């Protein structure tokens, strides 16, 4: 009787923890998207009576109008970092939830190991590093006048090359290898040493998973430079595709078909104007 009550309490605790972690991930994702929506709304505000207000409040969001200051770089990095959270948190949710569930079970057995937050932190550190690289790339593109003040590509050459490179990458063995690592959370953890008792070990495992996910998705993220860095539909579409190609059993073929479409679109952009 006592044992059955204990099992019931354990199941309730595990269910509660999964709900709390899921709510935390959903809340973080929602806040990231709200912030991106606020930025996009302010950037799309037409010039005129509110132009001075926009320049004061959102000047750093349109740095192509003037040379970047250190504050501009920091604010653009924060924009990219928030964007990566909004796009990648749903894809990371399954493995974070798994980690939280097993951590709770271990704690109930008196063998606790590092909280799932350590794993999640390691995962997003990798994407913040990508955000830093993307910010630097944006700075270079704006210096070369390849982006408009609204952070959209104004070069068919740039857009076409990005599409073709991203499309070709979808067919590479590296893309497939990284996608395999990202598709099965439990298999990934078992393949790389199992659940970790030490926080730093859990942090490293999260960073390793983030690195594989970056290897899987970096080419998709470069498409933001082709379709518009603050184009919310484009951002949502890329994030949704990254989630779908991991969730489907034959996601690699979805990736390759999308890659083929990107190559065709890029070739069309680079072709002679009609």
Helix ranges restricted to H, the chain: 2-43, 51-58, 70-108, 116-143, 156-169, 173-183, 185-191, 199-227, 232-247, 251-270
**Tokens matching residue 200:** 């730093």
For residues 146 and 160, the answer to whether their CB atoms sit within 8 Å is no
pLDDT digits (tens, 9 = 90+) for 211-263: 999 999 999 999 988 888 878 888 888 888 888 888 887 778 889 999 999 99
pLDDT digits (tens, 9 = 90+) for 185-221: 888 888 888 877 788 988 999 999 999 999 999 999 9
Query: Domain-by-domain residue ranges, the chain?
Result: 2-46+62-270
Maximum pairwise Cα distance, the chain: 79
Task: Say how many C-beta atoms besides its own lie within 10 A of residue 205's C-beta.
Answer: 24
Name the more confident of 12 and 272: 272
pLDDT digits (tens, 9 = 90+) for 3-61: 443 344 444 544 555 566 566 667 777 777 676 777 667 765 443 334 444 444 444 44
At residue 24, the pLDDT reads 64
At residue 19, the pLDDT reads 67
Q: What angle do CA 177, 128, 26 make, to 5 degrees?
A: 85
Between helices 199-227 and 232-247, what is the axis angle to 10°? 130
For residues 58 and 44, the answer to whether their CB atoms sit within 8 Å is no
For residues 270 and 158, the answer to whether their CB atoms sit within 8 Å is no
């Amino acid at each position: 009787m006592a044992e059955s009550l204990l099992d019931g309490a354990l199941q309730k605790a595990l269910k509660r923890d999964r709900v709390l972690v899921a709510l935390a991930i959903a809340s973080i994702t929602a806040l990231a998207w709200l912030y991106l929506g606020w930025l996009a709304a302010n950037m799309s505000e037409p010039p005129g009576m509110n132009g001075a207000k926009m320049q004061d409040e959102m000047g750093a969001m349109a740095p192509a109008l003037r040379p970047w200051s250190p504050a501009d770089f920091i604010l653009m990095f924060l924009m990219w970092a928030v964007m990566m959270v909004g796009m990648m948190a749903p894809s990371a949710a399954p493995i974070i939830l798994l980690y939280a569930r097993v951590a709770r079970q271990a704690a109930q057995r008196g063998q606790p190991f590092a909280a799932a937050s350590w794993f999640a932190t390691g995962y997003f550190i990798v994407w913040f590093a990508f955000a830093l690289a993307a910010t630097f790339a944006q700075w270079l593109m704006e210096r070369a006048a390849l982006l408009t003040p609204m952070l959209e590509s104004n070069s068919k050459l740039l857009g076409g090359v990005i599409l073709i490179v991203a499309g070709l990458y979808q067919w590479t063995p590296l893309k497939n290898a990284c996608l395999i690592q990202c598709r099965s959370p439990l298999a990934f953890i078992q393949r790389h040493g199992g659940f970790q008792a030490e926080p730093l070990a859990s942090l490293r495992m999260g960073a390793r998973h983030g690195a594989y996910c970056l290897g899987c998705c970096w080419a998709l993220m470069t498409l933001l430079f082709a379709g518009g860095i603050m184009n919310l539909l484009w951002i949502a579409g890329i994030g949704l595709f990254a989630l779908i190609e991991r969730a489907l059993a034959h996601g690699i073929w979805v990736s390759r078909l999308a890659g083929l479409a990107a190559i065709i679109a890029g070739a069309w952009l680079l072709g002679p104007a009609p």
